[in-house]
Structure 1
Amino acid sequence: LMTAPFDWDLGGLPRSPVPVDAIPDIGENQQIVFTEWMGRSPQDVEDQVTYPLTVSLLGLPGVKTVRSYSFFGFSSIYVIFDEGVEFYWSRSRVLEKLNSLPSGTLPEGVQPALGPDATALGQVFWYTLEGRDPNGNPAGGWDLDELRSIQDWYVRYALLSAEGISEVASVGGFVREYQIDVDPDAMRAYGVGLDDVIRAVRSSNIDVGARTIEINKVEYVIRGLGFIRQLSDIEQTAVKVNDNVPIYVKDIAKVSRGPALRRGALDKGGAEAVGGVVVVRYGYNPLAAIQHVKDKIDELAPGLPEKTLADGTVSKVTIVPFYDRTGLIYETLGTLNTALTQQVLVTVIVVIVMVLHLRSSVLISGLLPLAILMCFIAMRHFGVDANIVALSGIAIAIGTIVDMGIVLCENILRRLDEACEGENTLEVVYQASSEVGGAVVTAVATTIVSFLPVFTMAGAEGKLFKPLAFTKTFALLASVIVTLAIIPPAAHLLFTRRPIGGRFRRYGLGAIVLGLALAAGIVAAWWVGVVLAVVGLYHLTRDHLPARARIAMPLLGNALAVVLVGVVLTQYWLPMGPVAGFVRNLVFVGLLIGTLLLLFRIFEHFYPAVLTWCLEHKIAFLSLPLLLLLLAGMIWQGAARVFFFVPDALRQNRLWTSTTEVFPGLGREFMPALDEGSFLYMPTTMPHASIGEALDVLAKQDMAFQAIPEVESVVGKIGRADSPLDPAPISMIETVINYKTEYITDAAGRRLRFKYDRAEGDYVRDAEGSLIGDPKGRPYRQWRDHIQSPDDIWHEIVQAGEIPGTTSAPKLQPIAARLVMLQSGMRAPMGVKVRGPDLATIEAVALDIERFLKEVPSVEPAAVIADRVVGKPYLEIDIDRERIARYGISVQRVQDVIEVAIGGKRLTTTVEGRERYGVRVRYLRELRDEIDTMERILVPAPDGTQIPLAQLAEIRYARGPMAIKSEDTFLTAYVVFDRKPQYAEVDVVEQCRRHLEDKIDSGEFSVPEGVHYTFAGTYEHQIRATRTLTVVVPLALFIIFLILYLQFRRVSTTGLVFSGILVAWAGGFLMIWLYARPWFLDFSVFGTNLRALFQVHPINLSVAIWVGFLALFGIATDDGVVMCTYLEQSFHNRPTETVGEIHKAVVAAGTRRVRPCLMTTATTILALIPVLTSTGRGSDIMVPMAIPAFGGMTIEILTMLVVPVLYSMLQEAKARRATGD
Structure 2
Amino acid sequence: MIDRIIDYALKHRLLTILLVVLVSILGIIVYLQMPKDIYPDLNAPLVKIITENPGMAAEDVERLISFPLESLLNGAPHVTRVRSESTTGDSVVTVEFEWGMDIYLARQIVSSKLELITGRLPLGTTQPILGPVSSRMGEIFEFAVIGEETNPIELRSVADWTIRYRLQGVRGVSFVINLGGFVKQFQVYIKPEMLKNYDITINEVKEALENSNRNFSGGIILKGSQEVLIKGMGRIETIEHIKNTVITSRNNVPVYVKDVAEVKIGGKFRRDAASHNAKEAVYVTVEKQYGGDTLAAIRNIKNALTQIAKDLPENINIKPFYDQSILILKSLKHVEASIFEGAILIILVMVFFMWNLRSSLIASLTIPFSILIALVLMDIFGIGLTVMSIGGLAIGIGKVANGSIIMVENIFRVLKEKKGQASTLELTSEAARDVGKHLFSANLIIILVFLPLLTLKGIEGAMFRPTAFAVAAALFGSLILNLTLKPVLCSVFLKEKHLKDRKNPVIEFLTKKYHSILTKSLDHKKFIIAVFVILIIGAGISYNFLGKEFVPPLDEGAIMASTVMLPETSLEESIKMGTRVEKIFLSFPEVISVSRTTG
The answer as to 2:347 corresponding to 1:331 is: no
> What is the distance in 2 between the residues matched to 1:499 and 1:608?
31
> What secondary structure does 1:181 align onto?
strand
Larger relative contact order (CA 8 Å, sep ≥ 6): 2
Looking at structure 2, the residues matched to 407 and 320 of structure 1 have their Cα atoms a distance apart, in angstroms, of 57
| Contact 2:44–2:100 (CA under 8 A) maintained in structure 1 | no
Report the alpha carbon displacement of residue 708 of structure 1 after superposing the two structures with TM: 2.1
Deviations 1:396-419 (CA, angstroms, capped at 9, x unpaired): 222112111112222223333333
CA drift at 1:200: 2.5
* Structure 1 residue 666 corresponds to structure 2 residue 555: no
Identify which of 273, 288, 293 aligns with 1:280: 288
8 A contact 1:162–1:296 mirrored in 2: yes
Q: Is the 8 A contact 2:167 2:301 kept in 1?
A: yes
Deviation of 1:79 after TM superposition, in Å, equals: 0.6
Distance 1:397 1:390 in 2: 11
Counterpart CA distance in 2 for 1:116 and 1:680 is 25
CA distance in 2, matches of 1:195, 1:714: 46
Letter in 1 for 2:312: P
Deviations 1:140-191 (A, max 9, x none): 3533222322221222121111112211222221111010111223333443
Deviation at 1:202, TM superposition (A): 2.2
> Residue 265 of structure 1: which of 249, 261, 273 is its match?
273
CA displacement at 1:296 relative to structure 2: 2.3
Preserved contact between residue 48 and residue 107 of structure 1 (Cα < 8 Å): no
For 1:117, give the aligned amino acid: V
Equivalence for 1:378: 377
> Residues 415 and 499 from structure 1, CA distance in 2 versus in 1: closer, same or farther, beyond 3 angstroms?
closer
Q: Does 1:699 align with 2:544?
A: no
Q: Tell me the amino acid that sits aligned with residue 173 of structure 2.
A: I
Match of 2:35 among 3, 16, 19: 19
Instruction: Confirm or deny: 8 A CA contact 2:43 2:136 kept in the other structure.
Output: no
Give the aligned partner of residue 569 of structure 2.
689
Is 1:119 equivalent to 2:135 in the alignment? yes
Are residues 440 and 616 of structure 1, via their aligned partners in 2, closer, same or farther at CA, if it must alter by over 3 Å? farther
Q: CA deviation at 1:113?
A: 0.5
CA shift, 1:29, in A, is 2.2
Q: What SS is found at the alignment partner of 2:99? A: coil
Q: Which residue of 1 aligns with 2:68?
A: 52
Is 1:63 the equivalent of 2:74? no
Counterpart of 1:70 in 2: which secondary structure? strand
**More deviation in 448-457 or 420-429?**
420-429
**Structure 2 gaps, min length 5:** 1-23
- Does the C-alpha gap of structure 1 residues 145 and 246 become closer, same or farther in structure 2, counting only changes over 3 Å? same
> Relative to structure 2, which stretch is displaced further, 376-385 or 704-713?
704-713
Task: Measure, in 2, the Cα distance between the counterparts of 1:675 and 1:390.
Answer: 20
Unaligned runs of 5+ in 1: 6-12, 132-139, 307-314, 501-549, 559-596, 638-664, 719-729, 731-1221
- What residue in structure 2 maps to residue 632 of structure 1? 539
Task: Please list the CA deviations of residues 33-72 of structure 1 after superposition, one character each: whole Å capped at 9, or x if unmatched.
Answer: 1111121111111111111111111121101111112111
**Does the CA-based 8 Å contact 1:2-1:15 persist in structure 2?**
no
Q: 2:50 aligns with which of 17, 34, 41?
A: 34
Equivalent residue of 1:680, what SS? Answer: coil
Task: Return the offset for 1:28.
Answer: 2.6
Task: Select which of 605, 610, 614 maps to 2:512.
Answer: 605
Paired residues of 2:82 and 2:95 also in contact (CA < 8 A)? yes
Equivalent residue runs for 1:406-555 within 5 Å:
406-419=405-418, 421-497=420-496
One-letter amino acid of the structure 1 residue matched with residue 576 of structure 2: D
1:912-952, CA deviations, whole angstroms, 9 ceiling, x for partnerless residues? xxxxxxxxxxxxxxxxxxxxxxxxxxxxxxxxxxxxxxxxx
The aligned length equals 576
Q: Is the 8 A contact 1:2 1:17 kept in 2?
A: no
Q: In 2, are the aligned partners of 1:175 and 1:259 still within 8 Å (CA)?
A: yes
Q: Which amino acid in 2 is paired with 1:259?
A: G
Equivalent residue number for residue 305 of structure 1: 312
Q: Distance in 1 between matches of 2:294 and 2:325?
A: 8
Does structure 2 conserve the Cα–Cα contact (< 8 Å) formed by 1:4 and 1:17? Answer: no
- Describe the shift of the 1:77–1:4 C-alpha distance in structure 2 as closer, same or farther (beyond 3 A): farther
Question: What is the aligned partner in structure 2 of residue 1043 from structure 1?
Answer: none
SS of the equivalent of 1:180 reads strand
Which structure is larger by alpha-carbon Rg, 1 or 2? 1
| Length-normalised TM-score, structure 1 | 0.45
Q: Give the letter aligned to residue 689 of structure 1.
A: T
Task: Return the alpha-carbon distance in structure 2 between the equivalents of residues 48 and 118 of structure 1.
Answer: 27
User: In 2, are the aligned partners of 1:2 and 1:16 still within 8 Å (CA)?
Assistant: no
Amino acid in structure 2 at the alignment position of 1:39: G
Alpha-carbon distance change, 347 to 174 in structure 1, aligned in 2, over 3 angstroms: same
What residue number does 1:847 align with?
Answer: none
Q: Secondary structure at the match of 2:137?
A: helix
Distance, in Å, in 2 between the alignment partners of 1:486 and 1:3 is 17
1:767-821 alpha-carbon deviations (Å, 9 max, x no partner): xxxxxxxxxxxxxxxxxxxxxxxxxxxxxxxxxxxxxxxxxxxxxxxxxxxxxxx
In 2, the alpha carbon distance for the partners of 1:86 and 1:432 equals: 51
- SS in structure 1 opposite 2:212? coil
Question: What is the rounded CA distance, in whole Å, between the counterparts of 2:57 and 2:360 in structure 1?
Answer: 74
Report if aligned partners of 2:275, 2:283 keep a CA contact under 8 Å in 1: no
- How far off its partner does 1:423 sit? 4.3
Residue 493 of structure 1 deviates from its aligned partner by: 1.7
How far apart, in 2, do the equivalents of 1:469 and 1:117 lie? 29
Superposed CA deviations along residues 268-295 of structure 1, whole A, max 9, x for unmatched, are: 0100112422211101111111112223
Deviation at 1:93, TM superposition (A): 0.9
Q: Structure 2 matches for 1:746-761, cutoff 5 A?
A: none
Listed one character per residue, the Cα deviations across residues 336-381 of structure 1 (whole Å, up to 9, x for unaligned) are 2211111111111111112111111111111111111111111111
Code of the aligned partner of 1:606: K
What SS does structure 1 have at the residue aligned with 2:33? Answer: coil
CA distance in 2, matches of 1:398, 1:418: 31
**Alpha-carbon deviation of 1:618?**
4.2
Question: How far off is 1:115 after superposition?
Answer: 0.8
| Counterparts of 2:27 and 2:489, CA distance in 1 | 26
Q: Does 1:293 align with 2:293?
A: no
Counterpart Cα distance in 1 of 2:516 and 2:422: 35
- Residue 601 and residue 255 in structure 1: after superposition, are their counterparts in 2 closer, same or farther (change >3 A)? farther
Distance of 2:537 and 2:416 partners within structure 1: 45
Q: Name the amino acid aligned to 1:695.
A: I
Say whether the 8 Å CA contact 2:61–2:91 is kept in structure 1.
yes
CA distance in 1, matches of 2:427, 2:341: 35
The one-letter code of the counterpart of 2:495 is T
CA distance in 1, matches of 2:243, 2:25: 65
Match of 1:161 in 2: 169
TM-score by length of 2: 0.89
Question: Closer, same or farther in 2 for the Cα pair 1:321/1:4, shift >3 Å?
Answer: farther
In structure 2, the partner of 1:741 is: none
Distance 2:408 2:395 in 1: 22
The offset of 1:90, in angstroms, is: 0.6
Of residues 708, 713, 737, the one that matches 2:593 is: 713
Aligned partner of 2:244 among 236, 241, 244: 236
Q: Partners of 2:92 and 2:161 in 1: how far apart?
A: 25
8 Å CA contact 1:433, 1:488 repeated in 2: yes
CA distance in 2, matches of 1:617, 1:237: 106
| Partners of 2:45 and 2:106 within 8 A in 1 | no
Find the counterpart in structure 1 of residue 17 from structure 2.
none
Q: Cα offset for 1:215?
A: 2.5
Deviations 1:614-650 (A, max 9, x none): 455544443343333222222224xxxxxxxxxxxxx
Say if 2:81 and 2:95, in contact at 8 Å, map to a contact too.
yes
Amino acid at match of 2:547: G
Q: In structure 2, what residue type is equivalent to 1:631?
A: G
Secondary structure of 2:579 counterpart: helix
Letter in 2 for 1:443: A
Partner Cα separation in structure 2 for residue 247 and residue 361 of structure 1: 97
For structure 1, which segment, 92-101 or 473-482, has the greater mean C-alpha deviation from structure 2 after superposition? 92-101
Whether the 8 Å CA contact 1:151–1:275 is kept in 2: the answer is no
- For 1:499 and 1:173, how far apart are their aligned partners in 2? 77
Shift of 1:688: 2.0
Output the CA distance in 2 between the equivalents of 1:233 and 1:45: 36
- Give the C-alpha shift of residue 4 in structure 1: 6.0
Per the alignment, residue 152 of structure 1 pairs with 160
